[in-house]
Amino acid sequence: MTKASGDRLRRELADLMRLAIPVVLSELGWMAQSVVDTIMVGRLGPAAIGAVAIGNALFYTPSIFGIGLLLGLDTVVAQAYGRKDYDDCHRWLAQGVYLATAIAPLLMILIAVASFGFARFGITPEVAGPGASYLRMLNWSLLPLLLYGASRRYLQGVGQVCVITLTYVGANLLNWGGNWVLIYGHLGFPAMGVRGSALSTVVARILMAVSLLGFAWRYERKRGHPLFRHWAGPQFDRIARLLILGFPAAIQIALEVGAWNTATLSAGWLTPIALATHQIAINYASITYMVPLGISAAAAVSVGHAVGAGDKAKARRAGWLALGLGTAFMVLAGLVFLVAPRPLIELFTADPRVLAVGPSLLWIAAAFQIFDGVQTVCTGALRGLGETRAPMIANFIGYWILGLPLGMILCFVLKWGIYGMWIGLTLALIVISAILLRGWYKDSEALNAELAEL
């Protein structure tokens, strides 16, 4: 490597990290909302922790599907920005808002119907009642969540990422305070239990949507193109383009989140202790996942910018740099899970029954950290190229053909309990990461081939 190429790599790595760090913090902020809810209801007992787990599980699969439909904005906004077609970025934001507004009522109806089926799924009664109540309240946060998603993808695509982190800091502080007030009845408010936790999250997500739309308006005004004065009307060819890109991404996310939420529902068929332990362990796995997820979003934007600018070599380098960052972090995360599982569990609860089970689940989580990081960052890098079908296929094979069936057999047939379910999901992540790493390698080599022909 020459000195010039080394300097170029260092500059590009620094650029990637400037984009990735605020996005990673934002992803952690997203995760912090459910973690805060779980911690704040912890004093109500394992059944309350389980109720929040079940409620979030049934909310996030359809809501994440909705957010996934908007992921096409990563590709089109980033590539338009790379071409320096800034007005096109603005038009894509408008279409994303229309799409979010159109799909929200349909998903809310689906979630509302699901809230009445808890007992029929065999969830224990002490968890089913509060879980359904939590979900019905949380359902009102869906439209603001999708509007936030559209605004966020736009802001990421044009490189305005710090405001997303700022918004999440404010939203999480509000959610924490709201939980304290509404769960336990402080400051003259009634004690609402788990419903109070959900209401606090609804208010926080309204703040998120209003804040990011406000930041988008301010950004457009600064460049002389006020957001609402020149707001684009619905353009159905653009909405169709978003759906073509977003639908496979939405299916991929629904398959992934749905697999883990199926594991959560399965844990609900065991005991409240198993469910509470699963929820605590999955919170930690989800926290570490947010870092490569943020790097994945940065990879999508960096690769998209380079593709839009016609710099295919830079696009390839951006993807590999992001993979290196994501893998390095997950190695460190796995080591933490291995050496300090009990103190991590004790941050959530002192229940000795949970402490007896929890460390072993974190050891299993340590085993799949690298694979989780690789598959997540590869997904983002491929999305920057406009490839969203490969991650969908990989997740279907990994989770639903291999991992979940194996997990169910180990859990319920061989009586390995919650450990068996997590072993099956670990196999799924190994398979998915192998498929997507191979896909990124092939696509990045195709970029090399195109460069050689020039």
Q: For residue range 224-259, list pLDDT tens digits in order.
A: 777 777 788 899 999 999 999 999 989 998 888 888
Residue 50: is its pLDDT beyond 80?
Answer: no
Residue 269: is its pLDDT beyond 50?
Answer: yes
Q: At what angle do helices 236-268 and 72-82 cross, to 10 degrees?
A: 140
- Token pair listed for 377: 């960052």
The pLDDT > 90 percentage for the chain reads 36
Work out the angle at residue 337's Cα, subtended by the Cα atoms of residues 334 and 338, and round it to the nearest 5 degrees.
Answer: 90
The predicted model gives 379-405 an average pLDDT of 94
413 or 116, which is more confident: 413
d(CA 151, CA 43): 36
d(CA 409, CA 317): 42
Residue 129: is its pLDDT beyond 90?
Answer: no
d(CA 132, CA 114): 9
Residues 6+ apart with CB under 8 A from 250: 64, 65, 66, 67, 68, 69, 71
d(CA 189, CA 192): 9
Q: What does the domain layout of the chain look like in residue ranges?
A: 3-449
272 or 185, which is more confident: 185
Residue 91 CB-half CA count within 13 A: 14
pLDDT digits (tens, 9 = 90+) for 330-340: 999 999 999 98
d(CA 153, CA 74): 6
- Token pair listed for 442: 């092939």
The predicted model gives 42-56 an average pLDDT of 78
d(CA 421, CA 409): 8
Q: Count CB neighbours of 176 within 10 A.
A: 18
d(CA 431, CA 443): 19
Q: How many residues does the chain have?
A: 454
pLDDT grade for 147, boundaries at 50, 70 and 90: very high
d(CA 166, CA 210): 13
DSSP letter for each residue of 242-282: HHHHHHHHHHHHHHHHHHHHHHHHHHHTT-HHHHHHHHHHH
348 or 156, which is more confident: 156
pLDDT grade for 101, boundaries at 50, 70 and 90: very high
Q: What is the residue-averaged pLDDT of the chain? A: 86
pLDDT grade for 348, boundaries at 50, 70 and 90: confident
Residue 276: is its pLDDT beyond 70?
Answer: yes
Global pTM reads 0.80
* Residue 454: per-residue pLDDT: 44
Residue 215: is its pLDDT beyond 70?
Answer: yes
* Residue 431: per-residue pLDDT: 97
* Element containing residue 284 per DSSP (H, E): helix 272-308
The pLDDT > 70 percentage for the chain reads 95
Q: Which residues of 382-418 are buried (b: 16+ CB within 10 A; e: fewer)?
A: bbbbbbbebbbbbbbbbbeebbbebbbebbeeeebbb
* Residue 453: per-residue pLDDT: 52
